[in-house]
């Protein structure tokens, strides 16, 4: 399976997806394992994408899972992150979702660290400018690939049905005795 990537922004012409990596799957079921083999042009592509989005607000870095035998890009599973986070990221995570047969059908992509509010780093600060400079930019070295098999939701906990009589009507609980009916003998002894 091939993993593709590109930069997307409404003001830019639609860019085609480029090869990012090859996803290798081994085993099946709960023992299945996956690893990514990066393409030879990954570092150059990421550097080019970083320069392409400078000054663009809300540009997205898209990662797509190409389905076998399907060259139609609109049918691929796509996950996106804000492109402004790429130069500052130290880790990335791919979650590949498998169907009942163990075949990949979707993926999730995350980069970290990202601020809690998800906002892009402020432009103009010296620290941000120094960290995002082309000389300091490095491809993300810490990549995690996780496979996620389908799981079923927990079954609801049902209450025990009330007992029924032979006619199918619920059994009526006996009437609770009043205070005098319960303790009449103790009251009689006390008097």
Taking the chain (191 residues) in runs of 10, the rounded mean pLDDT of each run is 90 87 83 87 85 83 88 88 87 91 90 87 57 54 88 88 86 86 87 77
CA 164, distance to chain mean position in Å, is 48
Q: Where are the beta strands (DSSP E) in 74-171?
A: 77-82, 91-98, 104-112, 142-148
The three-class DSSP label of residue 10 is coil
Backbone angles phi, psi at 134, to 5 degrees: -60, -30
* Maximum alpha-carbon separation in the chain: 102
pLDDT per position as a tens digit, 82-129: 988 888 888 999 999 988 888 888 999 999 888 888 888 776 554 544
pTM assigned to the model: 0.72
Q: What is the separation of C-alpha 27 from the centre of its chain, rounded to a whole number of angstroms?
A: 23
Instruction: Provide the pairing of β-strand 91-98 with 142-148.
Output: parallel
Q: DSSP label at 140? A: -
Judged by DSSP in three states, 84 sits in helix
Q: What local confidence, expressed as pLDDT, does residue 8 receive?
A: 92
């Amino acid at each position: 399976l091939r993993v593709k990537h590109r930069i997307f922004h409404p003001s830019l012409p639609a860019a085609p997806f480029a090869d990012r990596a090859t996803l290798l799957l081994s085993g099946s079921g709960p023992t299945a394992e996956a690893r990514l083999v990066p393409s030879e042009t990954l570092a150059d592509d990421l550097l080019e994408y970083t320069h392409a989005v400078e000054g663009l607000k809300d540009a997205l870095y898209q990662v797509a899972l190409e389905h076998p035998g399907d060259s139609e890009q609109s049918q691929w599973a796509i996950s996106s992150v804000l492109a402004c986070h790429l130069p500052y990221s130290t880790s990335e995570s791919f979650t590949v979702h498998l169907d009942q047969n163990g075949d990949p059908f979707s993926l999730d992509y995350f980069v970290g660290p990202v601020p809690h509010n998800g906002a892009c780093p402020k432009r103009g600060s010296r620290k941000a400018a120094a960290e995002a400079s082309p000389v300091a930019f490095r491809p993300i070295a810490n990549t995690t690939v996780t496979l996620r098999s389908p799981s079923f939701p927990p079954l609801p906990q049902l209450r025990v049905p009330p007992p029924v009589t032979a006619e199918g009507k619920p059994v009526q609980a006996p009437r609770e005795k009043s205070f005098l009916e319960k303790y009449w003998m103790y009251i009689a002894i006390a008097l």
